[in-house]
Structure 1
Amino acid sequence: MEDTNTRARATIDLAALRANVAALRARAPRSGLMAVVKADAYGHGAQPCARAALDAGASWLGTATPQEALALRAAGITAPVLCWLWTPGGPWREAVEADIDVSVSAMWALREVMAAARAAGRPARVHLKADTGLGRGGAQPADWPELTAAARAAEKDGLLRVTGLWSHFACADEPGHPSNAAQLTAYRESLATAEAAGLRPEVRHLANSPATLTLPQSHYDLVRTGIAMYGISPVPQLGGPADFGLRPVMSLTARLALVKAAPGGHGISYGHHYVTPGTTTLALVPVGYADGIPRHASNEGPVLVAGKWRTIAGRVAMDQFVVDLGGDSAAAGDEAVLFGPGDQGEPTAEDWARAAGTIAYEIVTRIGTRVPRVYVGK
């Protein structure tokens, strides 16, 4: 039963997520699919989304931090999990003992993994990451031969198993960008170097969400789908979610806290960056930047209230913002829809991204813990 006392909610449609996983698997039919559930599944809830993705045929899970990966294990999820964002002194032993695959980009990390494996009394599962042009994590080409040779020596010593060789695109969301072809070439070269060192990984993986949709030559053994799994297009310039057979998973709604008449010339919110053009009705929406609503969307963010698109009037505050209803009426308790799939006339996360000058990834991921997640389509 719906809780009518809820100030705001993020409704998560797990049936849509499962359908999205199926659609993405169809795009890469010869590859496995890694469901990326980092950052609490991009704000959607890591454990429910991980289970739904696995139910739909995902064969791996991906996280950024080791704490995210360990939380999946603590919840009883036994599927293969790769964790890739490590710092010195991290919980390597705990990860090894929990059968979590860890990513290694440098010799310091390889040494820490080897020490953890000795302490745990069992071999670590390691994915070596090559920097093929993104310039973030991964070993540079000049350092890759040393890393792969050292990893192979550690394999021979029984300390680890190199289960994966991987990299990440910089511009896959810009189809035709010259760096995409350059990275494909660099990745092939990194594989050849690793194979020459004697490494035989279980999986090779390069494709993220946009590459899964637009670069079939990058699919290899696994594709890593993040934002697309949540029904948001990673290439909005090419098409929206429906164009790729996807449906947005999160809808964000709030209940109006106040509706009141106001005269013309009335300043609204901090700084009076909006002034009513005439006699009007104002509605107070009780969510703000503490809930993840971008302050950059002040005077820009779209909201469906009383059956029409409205635009935020004035600045987004910490806990609330105002919309000007003009001559329309509403009542406290009525629903305001900030974003959803868009098929009922409501804005989408992509609409909010344009309003805030960002990407839809950030819009859903930043919705805070004060907003409860309500799961449907289980």
Structure 2
Amino acid sequence: MSRPLREARVDLDAVAHNIRVLRGNIGDARLMTVVKSRAYGHGAVAVSRAAIAAGTDWLGVVDIAEALELRAAGIDAPILAWLHGPEAGFDDAIAADIDLGVHYLQQLDRVADAAGTASVQLKVDTGLGRNGAVESDWRPLFEAAAEHERAGRLRVRGLWSHLANAGEGEDLAQVAAFERAIADALSAGLTPELRHLAATAGALRVPSARFGLVRVGIGTYGLSPFDDASSADLGLRPALELSAGIVSVKRAPAGTGVSYGFDYRTPVETSLALVPLGYGDGIPRQASGRGPVSINGRQYRVAGRVAMDQFVVDVGDDEVAVGDRAVLFGDPGTGVPSVDDWARAADTINYEIVTRLGGRIEWTYAARD
């Protein structure tokens, strides 16, 4: 069976492996697999099913629409959706048994006024500076939530925040702030069963931040959140391989300009291979001249600028033919470039490389084991 011209192949066995490894690192805490932004570019429905089969307890998304997509696919695991616009409607989410992240009074009141009895998880800001109630607003928010809970308009299932990953001292200060938030919530009459602060980085390196549940995003996909530890160092397997079939190979004399602006000229007579992926598919233009590519077991670099639909690889005198696969990244344990290699080439982070993919790429799912 022929492969798609442009293919993002996801190894669901790697996802399951990563879930098991991460669970082995978090002690007795429950695990939420974060599948926002199409499961970090890997496919939310397929990854969610694999994660549930591997033993995850919760799924986490940003938007209600993302949560409803999972429900429409028949996924009935607990889901938390946590970022809502000021005009967001909550009726459908409540009817679908989706927990709602809430972080300010007006939003809490709107959820309480929606149809049905909502399950909410209150978000506090312990130092990241994004959404979440600031400390001076904790008490009013908690007291209002307790009043709504007593009236049967909602129930408070969780209390949570997010680490900034700004260093050990900052992390521990946030842990202390979260403990204050828990104490304030309890004194206001709330008894949230779920208390969570840590994502992948905190789950692995800040044991005091684990509380009763951890939210694992990037680690699920076999990618490291750290600059000083690779996926292999953490025992994780990258789950996504991005490749394309080469559509043109031609000989070019020395001095041939390649792609827009002629930033690259062939130093000698050579062969140029054309890969049908470009920034229209999420390939970073910033990686022009630097992005690594593996063809037939050998590694090369993008020659010249990445265009909207394609880029060129100078393969020298190597035997490369139309139809051969160019692998941009995958599991480096198999000898191909890594997502981190592309992140360095584009001066960004691995999170961005995988989540930006789209355009004409086709997603397929395979098991390596």
TM-score interval w.r.t. the shorter chain? over 0.9
Q: CA deviation at 1:369?
A: 4.4
Matches within 5 A, 1:131-170: 131-170=125-164
Distance 2:258 2:96 in 1: 53
Q: Within the alignment, does 1:269 sit opposite 2:267 as a pair?
A: no
In structure 1, stretches of 5+ residues that fail to align are none
The alignment partner of 1:207 has SS state of: coil
Q: CA deviation at 1:182?
A: 1.1
Q: CA deviation at 1:87?
A: 1.0
Amino acid at match of 1:362: E
For residues 109-129 of structure 1, the C-alpha deviation after alignment (integer angstroms, 9 at most, x for no partner) is 11110111xxx2x31000000
Distance 1:163 1:351 in 2: 41
**Counterpart of 2:273?**
283
**Counterpart of 1:127?**
121
Among 297, 301, 308, the residue aligned to 1:311: 301
Matches within 5 A, 1:169-180: 169-171=163-165, 175-176=167-168, 178-180=169-171
Amino acid at match of 2:24: A
Amino acid at match of 2:205: T
**Counterpart of 1:3?**
2
Distance 1:269 1:7 in 2: 21
Matches within 5 A, 1:158-307: 158-171=152-165, 175-176=167-168, 178-237=169-228, 239-307=229-297
Amino acid at match of 1:272: F
Among 43, 47, 50, the residue aligned to 1:49: 47
Distance 1:169 1:376 in 2: 34
Distance 1:114 1:41 in 2: 29
The alignment partner of 1:94 has SS state of: helix
For residues 93-145 of structure 1, the C-alpha deviation after alignment (integer angstroms, 9 at most, x for no partner) is 111111100001111211110111xxx2x310000000000000100001111
CA contact (8 A) 1:281 1:329 kept: no
> Percent identity over the alignment?
50
Q: CA deviation at 1:306?
A: 3.4
CA contact (8 A) 2:10 2:42 kept: yes
Distance 1:71 1:335 in 2: 33
Distance 1:226 1:112 in 2: 29
Matches within 5 A, 1:24-103: 24-103=22-101
Among 102, 105, 108, the residue aligned to 1:104: 102
CA contact (8 A) 2:280 2:359 kept: no
For residues 250-300 of structure 1, the C-alpha deviation after alignment (integer angstroms, 9 at most, x for no partner) is 001111010000011111101111111111110000100111100000011
The alignment partner of 1:142 has SS state of: helix
Amino acid at match of 2:69: A
Q: CA deviation at 1:243?
A: 1.4
Q: Within the alignment, does 1:373 sit opposite 2:363 as a pair?
A: yes
Distance 2:42 2:208 in 1: 30
CA contact (8 A) 1:175 1:214 kept: no
Give every structure 1 segment of 4 or more consecutive aligned residues whose post-TM-superposition deviation is greater than 6 Å: none
CA contact (8 A) 1:13 1:377 kept: yes
For residues 323-358 of structure 1, the C-alpha deviation after alignment (integer angstroms, 9 at most, x for no partner) is 111222211000111000012221000000000000
CA contact (8 A) 2:34 2:60 kept: yes
